[in-house]
Amino acid sequence: MSSMSRRHLIIAATGITISPRLVFAQAAASAPSAPFKVDPLTYAASALEPHIDGKTMEIHRDRHHQAYVTNLNNFAKDNPSIADKPIAEVLGNLAAIPDAIRTGVRNNLGAHANHSMFWQIMGPNGGNAHGDVLAAIDRDLGGIEKLQTDFNAAGGRVFGSGWVFVTVSKEGELAIETRPNQDHPMMDGKRALLGNDVWEHAYYLNYQNRRADYLKAWWNTVNWRAIDERYAAAKAGTLVI
């Protein structure tokens, strides 16, 4: 039984509920040949227009993300431990992965974690930051406007492909950080509160080389209710991706 299956059994037995936004996409034990999967969107692919067009969402999720998952499932056929262990444990200890697949697992599992988070933190009518997460943004990042300005600047400085994140500690402290390629903060023992994909496939159909315009427009897609959930989960030590 996978780690996520055991986790759900424990949750069911104790009566604890958990938002589906916080669950990492690993299939149930009934499908051992394909332990990783791309979860369905909770909104239409076109729901983020005009900021992110539906065609970009479809290509990004159904082709790029699915390709990472297909690669992971191929690795897992001969190395089931990458699916049996929690995502943070695998990415946080890549030295334990066999040399022959280490780079592939790093790239594809990091990409799966990044994209699973990405789809979850976006949505139409996402509201505004409030409560504890807004207080943390004000305290650590200088407020919403400064967060957006600094986050966009950091994303613009990423050379080539990568991600820009707001990381969150167990104490609830926030920081803006970037990672190259498909690296994830979990590789450094951290968690991502939110993150934006600055690979060209995330924006090129509409924005071409205008990454700065994409970064600015992307904030209109953020679902702050999901961010609230992630912040509370991070402080409780239950944030999975």
pLDDT at residue 8 in the model:
40
pLDDT at residue 33 in the model:
62
Please, what's the largest Cα pairwise distance for the chain? Answer: 51
Q: What is the pLDDT of residues 54-105, one digit of tens each?
A: 999 999 999 999 999 999 999 999 999 999 999 999 999 999 999 999 999 9
Burial 57-81 (b: 16+ CB within 10 A, else e): bebbbeeebeebbebbbebbeebee
Task: At 94, list the tokens.
Answer: 């890549």
pLDDT at residue 29 in the model:
38
pLDDT at residue 2 in the model:
42
* 10 band by pLDDT with thresholds 50, 70 and 90: very low
CATH number listed for the domain at residues 3-37+53-120:
1.10.287.990
pLDDT of 234 strictly over 90: yes
pLDDT of 20 strictly over 50: no
pLDDT at residue 34 in the model:
87
Spatial CA neighbour of 119 closest among 169, 200, 173, 64? 64
CATH number listed for the domain at residues 131-236:
3.55.40.20
> Phi first, then psi: what are they for 130, rounded to 5°?
-155, 175
pLDDT at residue 224 in the model:
98
SS3 content of the chain, % helix, strand, coil (to 5): 55, 10, 35
pLDDT of 15 strictly over 80: no
Q: What is the pLDDT of residues 167-223, one digit of tens each?
A: 999 999 999 999 999 999 999 999 999 999 999 999 999 999 999 999 999 999 999
Domain ranges of the chain: 3-37+53-120, 131-236
Q: What is the pLDDT of residues 32-49, one digit of tens each?
A: 568 999 999 999 999 999
